[in-house]
Amino acid sequence: MGTIHDRMAEDLRLKNYATGTRTQYLRCARRFTDFFDGSPLRLSEANIRSFLVHLTEQKAAPATVKMHVASIRFLYSVTLRQPAKVEHLLLPKVAHPLPDILSSAEVGELLNAVASFKHRVILMTAYGAGMRIGEACALTTTDIDSKRMVIHVRNGKRGKDRYVMLSPVLLSALREYWRQFRPAGAELFPGDKPETCISTNAVRAALKQALKKAGIKKRVTPHSLRHAFATHLLEDGADIRVIQELLGHGSIRSTARYTHVSTKHIAKTKSPLDRVSVNGGATGA
């Protein structure tokens, strides 16, 4: 793919795609071009469709096929400037299972099981402010505003900035972290190399170990803390539009998803059966 790969990488950066998205798009584009072992400029719409059919025949998950479609669309529409070849590509339907939600008690058990204090504070930040793990890792020291009790989240999804609350409990933990580590540069949670922040993979690894130690069997990733943040706020009566702003969602539909996972609200809803008079005892007795 050579020069085309480099141009696509530049285009993704210029359009300010997230690092993870850029990596995925480039990986999918490489797989696509390797399948034909030739320049994508010479491929037809039929060739592109045959590759996607190949993915489905190989039992690729719908989400995987969808990512390849998105990558190929970008490659032809932006980098190669041949949009006609991809304008009719179909996106597979992808299931959206509801996430496992940690209870407040489980969040506490999980955070207490994190061995490294630095990793624990990062995960506390992710949960306490509803931040994506990449956003938490990338915080700078000036993003913490203790006078206004807010955190400035910069360059979130779609390049948007936002403010989120600064919990007094989190502020106390951040001050203790500062006392212990005294980061020298601008990064609040620096990585191993100068002027870099800690990698999200390091935090994921720490979370995985903590899950095992805490004995939590639910499917949990760092993003699960963001899910828990939104669900717990909703259960405590927070307005859904406030939650939308805190999460940085572009659409209320994304936030409304949490109304489906709040079992507290479901449990409080009275069944119509409660209004019906039914004789006691086992049915059919």
* Catalytic residue ranges: 132, 157, 223, 226, 249, 258
Q: Determine the Cα–Cα distance for residues 60 and 257; give it in Å rounded to an integer.
A: 26
Whose tokens are 């890792």? That residue is: 137
Determine the Cα–Cα distance for residues 48 and 90; give it in Å rounded to an integer. Answer: 11
Chain-centre distance for alpha carbon 177: 25
Write down the H helix ranges in the chain.
2-14, 19-36, 45-57, 62-74, 104-112, 117-129, 133-137, 168-181, 200-214, 222-235, 240-247, 252-256, 263-268
Any idea what the Cα angle at residue 257 is, between residues 255 and 263, rounded to 5°? Answer: 120
Buried b (16+ CB within 10 A) or exposed e, 72-88: bbbbbbebbeeeebbee
Residues 134, 200 contacting (CB under 8 angstroms): yes
State how far the Cα of 190 lies from the Cα of 43, in Å rounded to an integer. Answer: 45
| H or E element at residue 80 | none
